[in-house]
């Protein structure tokens, strides 16, 4: 009986321990176009992200160069990875977004914008040098587009 109670206690503590050991995504990250997969989607020529992360607090700002559109787009976020809705400030229009942790190295987000709903799954590599962002856009016209962005930590 004691073993049973001890097992229940351990099971209750495991999620708390995992949440406290979330990977820190702080740093400057640069899009690696060669490792990313955009399919037939328009892709940026250059993206740089500066992330400040103290779980659950999450702040980032960045810039994307869209050569096909002939413009730069700056964006800023100051919120948390807590499942609550926040605003991403963007030059081309703000959007609402939620972030939630699903693993020690994995965060999911859902954003609502003028083009539709964008879902992402961000996974940090075990060595902390790569972020992979798997994206799905469900546009207002009912079409679905998918792509993968790979970011490398600038040293």
CA 13/CA 44 separation, integer angstroms: 43
What is the length of the chain? 155
Please classify residue 11 by burial: count the beta carbons closer than 10 Å to its beta carbon, then call 0-12 exposed, 13-18 middle and 19+ buried: exposed
Strand partners, 145: 137
For the chain, give every domain's residue range.
23-153
Q: Which CATH class is domain 23-153?
A: mainly beta
- Identify the pLDDT of residue 7: 35
CA 152/CA 70 separation, integer angstroms: 24
- Extract long-range pairs of 58-61: CB within 8 Å, 24+ residues apart: 58/25, 58/99
- Identify the pLDDT of residue 68: 64
- Identify the pLDDT of residue 57: 98
- Identify the pLDDT of residue 17: 38
CA 154/CA 62 separation, integer angstroms: 14
Averaged pLDDT, groups of 10, the chain, 155 residues long: 36 40 95 90 84 97 79 92 96 91 97 91 97 95 94 94
Instruction: Report phi then psi at 12, rounded to 5.
Output: -70, -30
Give the list of residues 6+ apart from residue 108 with CB closer than 8 angstroms, or none.
99, 100, 102, 119, 120, 121, 122
CA 121/CA 28 separation, integer angstroms: 19
For residue 60, the tally of other CB atoms under 10 A from its CB is: 18
């Amino acid at each position: 009986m004691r073993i049973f109670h001890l097992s229940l206690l351990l099971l209750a503590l495991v999620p708390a321990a995992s949440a406290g050991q979330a990977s820190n995504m702080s740093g400057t990250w640069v899009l690696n176009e060669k490792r990313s997969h955009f399919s037939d989607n328009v892709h940026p020529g250059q993206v740089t992200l500066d992330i400040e992360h103290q779980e659950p607090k999450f702040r980032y700002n960045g810039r994307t160069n869209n050569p096909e559109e002939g413009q730069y787009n700056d964006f800023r976020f100051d919120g948390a990875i807590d499942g609550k809705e926040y605003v991403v400030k963007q030059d081309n229009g703000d959007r609402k977004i939620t972030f939630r942790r699903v693993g020690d190295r994995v965060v999911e987000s859902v954003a609502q914008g003028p083009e539709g709903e964008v879902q992402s799954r961000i996974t940090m590599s075990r060595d902390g040098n790569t972020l992979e962002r798997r994206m799905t856009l469900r546009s207002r016209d009912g079409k679905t587009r998918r792509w993968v962005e790979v970011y490398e930590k600038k040293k």
